[in-house]
Amino acid sequence: MEIYLARTQGFCAGVASAVDIVEMALEKYGAPLYVYHEIVHNTYVVNDFRKRGVVFVEDIETIPDGERIIFSAHGIPPEVINKAKAKNLKFVDATCPLVTKVHNEAVKFSQREYETVLIGHKGHQELIGTSGYVDPKVLHIIEKEQDVDALTIDPGQEVAYLTQTTLSVDETKGIIEKLKNKFPRLVAPPRSDICYATQNRQDAVKELARMCDIIIICGSPNSSNSNRLRETGENEGVSSYIIDRADELDIKILAGHKKIGISSGASVPRLIVDELINKIKAEYPKTIVHTFDNPEKNIVFKLPNLKVLE
């Protein structure tokens, strides 16, 4: 049995800094520390923080006035910030800078009064956050190519689009092509909103698909980018599975396979992948693990100043 570990996988710079912010705030100020929404979409990370006194909330109103709160990496609509201010909460915004970039584009498009098509998964925290920066009068949310047909915007108008950062690169291209055909004056964001980490992880799974006969993705069920990795493997013609923890892997699915590709979503800590490798090695002790040079190893985002929590 051979294992091939995807070249780029696991924590991206946005997730790493969000997790570091919570770690540092917890260490400095202790529990309880409030976090708005799951800091990142990973069951292990969230449960581990929960055990150490982090309280995850979906409604700012449930937090006692004056407490400390961190906003998750996915971003928040402006109304959440306003509510936090009204309750005198001390807050640090752990929104990934690449999500903030999309918020800024949304504001610019709305200032120009462009009808704005937001491509993403309805109900996902990032989409809820970004929607809050688009004037509701010009906001249109779509998820898939067929939704373009249902848009009732005048085709002669300037129409802008934005996307969630963690979508399938290939599927999103199809949606954008369809938008271009329907709206000849379509305005694109200056640079793709799908972030470098999403693009690199999907490319790395395509690379695995060329070498492997089965792919296993580590990622939680609510992790958008992890689910897209499983779909990428399937779309490349290789049976692909997603598991939250190693104990979810039914080892029988590996029977008859020789080359296992393993990757993990941008919110997945390395120890989850190590658990999976150990589980496979326990069943197939002669397993060899192949790794590749990771082009992302020097990407880090600057942390915000935590003094505002004092």
When the beta carbons of 3 and 132 are compared against ligand SF4, the nearer one is 132
Identify residue 116 by its one-letter amino acid code: T
Q: Which of 21, 92, 99, 106 binds ligand SF4 (CB under 6 A)?
A: 99
224 vs 240 by CB, closer to ligand SF4:
224
* One-character DSSP codes across 189-248: -SS-SS-HHHHHHHHHHHHHHHH-SEEEEE--TT-HHHHHHHHHHHHTTS-EEEESSGGG
- Closest listed residue to residue 57, CA positions, set 75, 44, 70: 70
Give dist(CA 51, CA 58) in Å, integer.
18
Q: Are 80 and 57 in contact (CB under 8 A)?
A: no
Catalytic residue, chosen from 38, 115, 126, 296, is 126
57 with 35: CB under 8 angstroms?
yes
Kindly state whether residue 72 participates in binding ligand SF4, applying the rule CB under 6 A. Answer: no
3-class SS of residue 177: helix
| Count of residues that interact with ligand SF4, criterion CB under 6 A | 15
126 as an active site residue: the answer is yes
User: Across the strands, what pairs with 187?
Assistant: 160
Stretch that binds ligand SF4, among 6-14, 30-38, 235-243, 255-263 (CB under 6 A): 6-14
32 preceded by cis ω (within 30°)?
yes
The answer to whether residue 3 forms part of the interface with ligand SF4 (CB under 6 A) is no
Q: Closest distance between ligand SF4 and the C-beta of residue 259, in Å?
A: 27
Kindly provide the residue ranges of all beta strands, DSSP E only, lying in 94-213, ordered along the sequence.
Answer: 115-119, 139-142, 159-163, 186-187
Cβ closest to ligand SF4, residue 192 vs residue 235:
192
- Residue 54's SS3 state is strand
Q: Which of residues 197-236 bind ligand SF4 (CB under 6 A)?
A: 197-198, 225
Please tell me the distance from the alpha carbon of residue 44 to that of residue 272, in angstroms, as a whole number. Answer: 8
- Asked whether 99 and 165 are in contact (CB, 8 A), the reply is yes
The answer to the question of residue 96 lying near ligand SF4 (CB under 6 A) is: yes
CA angle (22, 118, 267) in 5-degree steps: 30
Shortest CB 10 distance to ligand SF4, Å: 11
Least distance to ligand SF4, CB of residue 26, Å: 20
For residue 103, the minimal CB distance to ligand SF4 (Å) is: 11
Our CB check for ligand SF4 shows the closer of 254 and 272 to be: 272
User: Is 138 or 272 the residue whose CB approaches ligand SF4 more closely?
Assistant: 272
Residue nearest to ligand SF4 (CB): 14
Nearer to ligand SF4 by Cβ, of 214 and 225: the residue is 225
Scanning 25-33, 81-89, 192-200, 289-297 for contacts with ligand SF4 by CB under 6 A, the matching segment is 192-200
Residues identified as active-site:
126
Residues that bind ligand SF4 (CB under 6 A): 12-15, 73, 96, 98-99, 165-166, 195, 197-198, 225, 266
